[in-house]
């Protein structure tokens, strides 16, 4: 149990540092946005490019993991979407479905998998992040575009999604890294060092930015946020556990990684999407806050189970 807290407490300590810095006005109201932009445009793309450019595709391509993580994630999204559809419409139901299924793989998943499994944890975390960004997020955007326009504009909505993904550094960076890897050339030493320096800042900056975001004023009432938290922290990992360990058994590392990634709290993506499309962001903002706090328990439980099975990297 000691190693569980050794792994998880530094993650939440960094979030707490960001939270305290905002509440004490050490960092201003724009700090979360600016640090977030630095992570999204510089640090995390550097980590993703370095990972895909220096890792053989054979170590990244695990079709059953893609299937398991996609099925569990999309199941939660679809269930939430159908549950909320009649009451609030397709656009807002899509945002809330994203809030229930959108694991914080970028900010917490990658650093946490690296801490738990060492370098071997990066490929599953990377693939999980791509599933969240390229499959789940894109699907939610398509649903919102369809709801706000009409079905006759579906082709235009798909084009908008494609163009948005083509401009997303978290999508472009690993694809460029993969193209580099296909060339079979090693990274030049200066470029390698440059990427290492940026990549090393990913975890602390991302987690502090998350804390700054959570410290911002939250709405007093946000109906249904508790249900979304339960779907994210309980239903998502349970579905993943059934799939990864029983129905579609994965190799131990990939199975443990899938379980850990599915137990992550909701990331900031749903909130950003709600703000962008000017939908009600109160429910998803509180879902992010409450799931992040609740994840201390769910992640600790997952790490304890992984430790019992001998899946933790010695620290």
Question: In the prediction, which pLDDT does 281 show?
Answer: 74
Strand partners of residue 209: none
Any domain includes 217: yes
Averaged pLDDT of the chain:
83
Q: For residue range 251-285, what is the model confidence (pLDDT) as tens digits?
A: 989 999 999 999 998 887 887 778 777 787 778 87
> Which of the two residues, 227 and 44, has the higher pLDDT score?
227
254 closest CA partner among 50, 7, 61 = 61
Provide CB contacts within 8 A for 246, sequence distance 6+: none
Any domain includes 315: no
Q: For residue range 170-199, what is the model confidence (pLDDT) as tens digits?
A: 778 888 988 888 888 889 999 999 999 998
244 closest CA partner among 77, 64, 61, 58 = 64
How far apart CA 201 and CA 217 sit, in angstroms, is 27
The count of domains in the chain is 1
Any domain includes 266: yes
* CB distance 265 to 108 below 8 Å: yes
Any domain includes 278: yes
Any domain includes 52: yes
Share of the chain above pLDDT 70, in %: 88
Buried b (16+ CB within 10 A) or exposed e, 3-31: bbeebbebbbebbbbbbebbeeeebeeeb
The token duo for 313 is 């990297």
214 closest CA partner among 5, 17, 34 = 17
CATH for 150: 1.20.1530.20
What domain range includes position 269? 2-308
């Amino acid at each position: 149990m000691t190693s569980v807290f050794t792994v998880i407490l530094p993650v939440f300590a960094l979030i707490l540092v960001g939270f305290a810095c905002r509440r004490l006005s050490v960092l201003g109201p724009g700090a979360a946005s600016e640090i977030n932009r630095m992570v999204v445009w510089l640090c995390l793309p550097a980590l993703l490019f370095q990972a895909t450019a220096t890792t053989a595709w054979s170590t990244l391509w695990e079709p059953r993991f893609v299937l398991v993580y996609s099925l569990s994630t999309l199941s939660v999204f679809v269930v939430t979407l159908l549950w909320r559809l009649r009451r609030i419409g397709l656009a807002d139901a899509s945002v809330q479905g994203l809030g229930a299924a959108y694991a914080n793989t970028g900010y917490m998943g990658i650093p946490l998998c690296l801490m738990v499994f060492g370098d071997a944890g990066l490929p599953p975390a990377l693939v999980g992040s791509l599933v969240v960004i390229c499959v789940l997020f894109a699907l939610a955007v398509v649903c919102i575009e369809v709801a706000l326009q009409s079905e006759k504009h579906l082709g235009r909505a798909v084009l908008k999604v494609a163009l948005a993904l083509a401009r997303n550094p978290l999508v472009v960076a690993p694809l460029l890294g993969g193209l580099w890897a296909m060339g079979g050339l090693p990274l030049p030493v200066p470029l390698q060092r440059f990427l290492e320096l940026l990549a090393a800042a990913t975890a602390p900056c991302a987690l502090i930015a998350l804390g700054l975001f959570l410290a911002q004023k939250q709405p007093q009432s946000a109906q249904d946020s508790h249900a979304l938290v339960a779907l994210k922290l309980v239903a998502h990992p349970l579905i993943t556990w059934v799939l990864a360990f029983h129905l579609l058994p994965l190799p131990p590392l990939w199975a443990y990684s899938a379980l850990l990634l599915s137990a992550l709290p909701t990331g900031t993506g749903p909130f950003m999407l709600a703000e962008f499309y000017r939908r009600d962001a109160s429910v998803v903002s509180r879902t992010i806050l409450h799931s992040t706090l609740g994840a201390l328990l769910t992640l600790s439980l997952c790490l304890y189970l992984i430790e019992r099975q001998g899946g933790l990297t010695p620290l």
